[in-house]
């Protein structure tokens, strides 16, 4: 598909694909757009929402959140004026 058939509406940010050339339907562009949408659906179904990926994400998310909380706690200790480093004594 040639990029000359794609247009972006700057006001709304929507992408448009012109399926006509000189008033005639470009079936080749239409079929490529359908293939593109099918591929997008395929990947969203098979990869993004795969049961093992979703389960792994559910296991990792609390660990990630706990790690960020620990980083904030450590950061607050090292930037606090009350914190005395053992090396400074």
- pLDDT of 84 reads 53
pLDDT band at 35 (very low <50, low <70, confident <90, very high): very high
Q: State pTM to two decimals.
A: 0.46
Token readout for 16 is: 């448009």
- pLDDT of 79 reads 55
Alpha helices of 1-89 — where are they, by DSSP H? 27-43, 51-79
CA–CA gap between residue 6 and residue 17 (Å, rounded) = 4
DSSP state of 10: T
- Give the SS3 label for residue 21: strand
pLDDT band at 1 (very low <50, low <70, confident <90, very high): very low
- Give the SS3 label for residue 16: strand
């Amino acid at each position: 598909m040639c990029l000359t058939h794609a247009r972006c509406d700057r006001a709304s940010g929507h992408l448009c694909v012109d399926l006509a050339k000189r008033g005639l339907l470009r079936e080749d562009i239409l079929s490529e757009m359908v293939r593109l949408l099918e591929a997008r659906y395929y990947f969203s179904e098979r990869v993004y929402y795969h049961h093992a990926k979703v389960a792994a994400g559910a296991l990792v998310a609390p660990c990630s959140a706990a790690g960020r909380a620990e980083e904030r706690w450590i950061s607050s200790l090292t930037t606090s004026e009350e914190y005395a480093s053992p090396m400074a004594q």
